[in-house]
Amino acid sequence: MIDAIDALILDLLEWVANGERSYAEVMDAWRTSRPRLAVWEEANDRRLIVREHVNGRAIVRITSSGLALLEHHKSSRPSQASRAA
């Protein structure tokens, strides 16, 4: 079982992986003032996401480590069919 911060990190990774996100957009959606749920900070510390400057814009991208974690999590979840059984 994964804890709350890991579940939120996986949500963040999935969201970032679905399309290019500006840094401002990510901060607006994921910044928190609650230290226990510091999703952005934890994902950065684990090097699962990276902030880059592209054409004068700050964007956030998922790293290869982030993609690997996301894929591992997806492959370890029971499929819809096995949950329905």
Q: Determine whether 21 is exposed, middle or buried from the number of CB atoms within 10 Å of its CB (0-12, 13-18, 19+).
A: buried
In a domain, 19, yes or no: yes
In a domain, 42, yes or no: yes
pTM score: 0.78
Q: Is the pLDDT of residue 46 over 60?
A: yes
Q: What range does the domain containing 14 cover?
A: 4-75
Nearest to 63 by CA among 73, 48, 44, 43: 48
Provide the domain count of the chain.
Answer: 1
Q: Is the pLDDT of residue 35 over 60?
A: no
Question: What would the pLDDT profile of 54-81 be if each residue is shown by its tens digit?
Answer: 999 999 999 999 999 999 998 887 765 5
| Residue partners of 62: CB distance under 8 A and separation at least 6 | 13, 16, 17, 48, 49, 70
Q: Output the domain CATH number for residue 44.
A: 1.10.10.10
In a domain, 10, yes or no: yes
In a domain, 85, yes or no: no
In a domain, 82, yes or no: no
In a domain, 63, yes or no: yes
Residue 63 zone, left/alpha/beta (φ > 0; ψ -120 to 50; rest): beta
